[in-house]
Amino acid sequence: MENSKLSNKIRVVINRKKLECCEQKHLQFYRGYASAVSQTLRKPSFQRFLDWIIKLERIEKADVTDIQVRVFPFEKENGNPVAGRCNSNAGVILLFPKRRSFLKKKLQNNQKENVHYYLKSRAMAAMIHELLHIKYKSNEGKVRQLTKKYFGIFSWHQNFDSKSANAPQRPLLAL
Ligand SMILES: [Zn+2]
């Protein structure tokens, strides 16, 4: 069923209040970032992986109603950045970017490709983490433990696939 696909629930959402006070060049940066995250999350290989977790964990797909890729970052009161949030009752998942200033600093000491890889990995890990909150609610310990496990499996397969780029395409996680 097309409408039960998680990828159809992903949308980029902009906070209007933050938009008003955002400089044009910053806005361009954050819009580009959000669209890269949205594309990464929609990738068929990642969607297949999420489906595999959903099946294994017996998560009700219909319980996820909305996946919002937020354009602007969000921080806790103590200033710590938030990667994602989940309202498990409403089935709403929010994913937030890193600050532009943080990435500018990171780009001084790292190659652009590595920084992009980091951003995509961060978004995918946050997606897995918040998806697990749908089932495990506020059990942060369990969610963290499983996020580590599942993201580890996904990364391993990604690396394996890129090393054997000439090998015929095989379904991810045909274990
Ligand atoms: Zn959490």
User: Is 175 a member of any domain?
Assistant: no
| Residues of the domain holding 131 | 2-162
Q: How close is the Cα of 143 to the center of ligand 1, in Å? A: 6
Q: What is the rounded CA–CA span in Å between residue 28 and residue 81?
A: 20
Number of domain units in the chain: 1
Output the tens digit of pLDDT for each of the chain's 175 residues: 545 789 999 999 999 888 888 888 899 999 999 999 999 999 999 999 999 999 999 999 999 999 999 999 999 999 899 999 999 999 999 999 999 999 999 999 999 999 999 999 999 999 999 999 999 999 999 999 999 999 999 988 887 666 554 444 444 333 2
User: Is 168 a member of any domain?
Assistant: no
User: Is 170 a member of any domain?
Assistant: no
Q: How close is the Cα of 125 to the center of ligand 1, in Å? A: 11
Q: How close is the Cα of 32 to the center of ligand 1, in Å? A: 26
Strands (E), the chain: 10-13, 66-70, 84-87, 92-95
Query: In this structure, are residues 41 and 93 in contact, taking their beta carbons and an 8 Å threshold?
Result: no
Quote the distance between the C-alpha of residue 91 and its chain's center. 16
Q: How close is the Cα of 82 to the center of ligand 1, in Å? A: 10
Q: How close is the Cα of 66 to the center of ligand 1, in Å? A: 17
User: Is 35 a member of any domain?
Assistant: yes
At residue 173, the 3 state secondary structure works out as coil
User: Is 172 a member of any domain?
Assistant: no
Query: In this structure, are residues 153 and 174 in contact, taking their beta carbons and an 8 Å threshold?
Result: no
User: Is 49 a member of any domain?
Assistant: yes
User: Is 130 a member of any domain?
Assistant: yes
pTM of the model: 0.89
Tell which residue, 6, 43, 4, 39, has the closest CA to residue 157.
43
User: Is 128 a member of any domain?
Assistant: yes
Q: How close is the Cα of 160 to the center of ligand 1, in Å? A: 28
